[in-house]
Amino acid sequence: MGRIIVGKTTDILPGKMQKVAADGKEILIANVDGKFYAVNDTCTHAGASLSEGSLDGCTITCGWHGAKFDCQTGKLSAFPAKIKDLQSYKVVVESDNIFLEV
């Protein structure tokens, strides 16, 4: 398992999220009260970029159809239909660098 640097902690303020490219994938990094989480950026319902949605606490809401996912686990938390969970990634912060383990 390798680590890829995806940004600086100062790039993503608390309560914000940002899409990054890592290991050939688009990944969403979310900052929840100074703790960083990473999940696939693509909604499993219709393929929307989740970074264009919103973050409320640990809940990412897709801007297209309102699917809600937990950014800590990638698990679907609310949607009228059953869709797949998001893949989540381990995040490691060293100094002010954000790394993903892939």
Per-residue model confidence as pLDDT tens for the chain (102 residues): 689 999 999 999 999 999 999 989 999 999 999 999 999 999 999 999 999 999 999 999 999 999 999 999 999 999 989 999 999 999 999 999 999 998
Q: So where are the chain's domains?
A: 3-101
Residue pair 17/55 in contact (Cβ under 8 Å)? The answer is yes
- pTM value is 0.94
What CATH fold (topology level) applies to the domain 3-101? Answer: Rieske Iron-sulfur Protein (2.102.10)
- The predicted pLDDT at position 102 comes to 81
Q: What is the DSSP letter of 33?
A: T
CB atoms within 10 A of CB 97: 13
